[in-house]
Amino acid sequence: DTAVSQTPKYLVTQMGNDKSIKCEQNLGHDTMYWYKQDSKKFLKIMFSYNNKELIINETVPNRFSPKSPDKAHLNLHINSLELGDSAVYFCASSQGGLAGLYEQYFGPGTRLTVT
Amino acid sequence: KNEVEQSPQNLTAQEGEFITINCSYSVGISALHWLQQHPGGGIVSLFMLSSGKKKHGRLIATINIQEKHSSLHITASHPRDSAVYICAAVSNSGYALNFGKGTSLLVT
């Protein structure tokens, strides 16, 4: 019974396309996150949502739009994909609203390749 | 912005060795996370600590908030410990997370 799940696991698409990555958690957590891991394996937080409300929005292009239909889901929609968007995107969740003060549970990641 | 440095960048050890990975940061923080990323890509949270020491099995994490330094120790290392270990410093607000670049550990 997967705690944090993401779909798809792999996504290959062309520049200019719009795509979405879905994330669901069944842990009953209040807060969900999106992270980007670049080709050098460097992790960076993109967004944090607490009870469907945006808490953190790091300097991410506005082509990236998170959408939280309910507390258990946080989807990531990307418009006009660029080569530099190629990365692994991780979803995570935790109890509480402060990103750093609670243990986070990570999804398996979605490897996005833009050609 | 909090600069988070990890050392060493790469580490190879023989099975059974005691391993230490270091993490230092440039500005005051409220807490620090240690994460493990397996070769398959999955990420697991190992510790979140704001003072002192925590132990889980063969893993020990320590932090000295004043000295802006944390260490992750692995006792009696095993090939299954081979992974990338990442530290993340939490800002005083509790909202911002700044990640180190990771330490790649290979135990043979």
Dist. CA B87–CA B72, nearest whole Å: 9
Q: Does any CB of chain A come closer than 8 Å to the CB of residue B88?
A: yes
User: Under a CB-based contact definition with an 8 Å cutoff, are residues B50 and B67 in contact?
Assistant: no
Judged by DSSP in three states, A113 sits in strand
At A7, give phi and psi (nearest 5°): -140, 140
| Nearest residue of chain A to residue B88 (CA atoms) | A100
The Cβ of residue B12 has, within 10 Å, a number of other Cβ atoms equal to 12
A82–chain B nearest CA distance, Å: 23
pLDDT at A1 over 70: no
Chain A residue with the nearest C-alpha to that of B46: A103
DSSP string, A2-38: -SEEEE-SEEEE-TT--EEEEEEE-S--SEEEEEEE-
Residue with tokens 């986070």: A104
Distance between A29 CA and the closest CA of chain B, angstroms = 15
pLDDT digits (tens, 9 = 90+) for A46-84: 988 887 778 777 778 899 999 999 989 999 999 999 999
Residue B20 and residue B71 in contact, taking contact as beta carbons nearer than 8 Å: yes
Segment B19-65, tens digit of pLDDT = 999 999 988 888 899 999 998 889 999 999 989 999 999 999 999 98
The answer to whether residue B43 neighbours chain A at the CB level (below 8 Å) is yes
